[in-house]
Amino acid sequence: MVSLYSECSLASSHPTNRATIPPRVGPFKYHPAGVDCNLFDWYDPPASGFMRELLNDLRDVMLSLRRNKAELECVVEELRTKEEEQCVEITEARHELAALRLVASKDEAKIIGLKPDKSRLEK
């Protein structure tokens, strides 16, 4: 009987990228036979009191920074809204100022037209 892997290798001259783990076994459930390295025991020794205190302090600082960040984001959003409102008010004030300048220039032209000329008064 020919296995599935040998049939594939006979059918194709290219190497296959098949996993050595059968698909019915999840990748984290697979342990090669006879291999027990205790990786986590070796890599993560028991934490000392200093390390536990340090890690707890770091966690507290991170949580505090996240809260501060959220508060600052709220403040920034409020200020953006206020800025947009002020930009609208400034634009309206500029339009009003331009209209007043136009009225003032027309009034100035009328005043200049009403001033008597010295040449006419001398006659």
> Does residue 9 contact residue 16 with C-beta atoms inside 8 Å?
yes
Confidence (pLDDT) at 8: 47
Q: What is the pLDDT of residue 19?
A: 57
For 41-90, the pLDDT digits (tens) are: 556 678 899 999 999 999 999 999 999 999 999 999 999 999 999 999 99
pLDDT of 9: 47
pLDDT score for 39: 57
Computed over every residue of the chain, the mean pLDDT equals: 77
The yes-or-no verdict on residue 11 having pLDDT over 70 is no
Q: What is the 3-state secondary structure (H, E, C) of the chain?
A: CCCHHHHHHHHCCCCCCCCCCCCCCCCCCCCCCCCCCCHHHHHCCCCCHHHHHHHHHHHHHHHHHHHHHHHHHHHHHHHHHHHHHHHHHHHHHHHHHHHHHHHHHHHHHHHHHHCCCHHHHHC
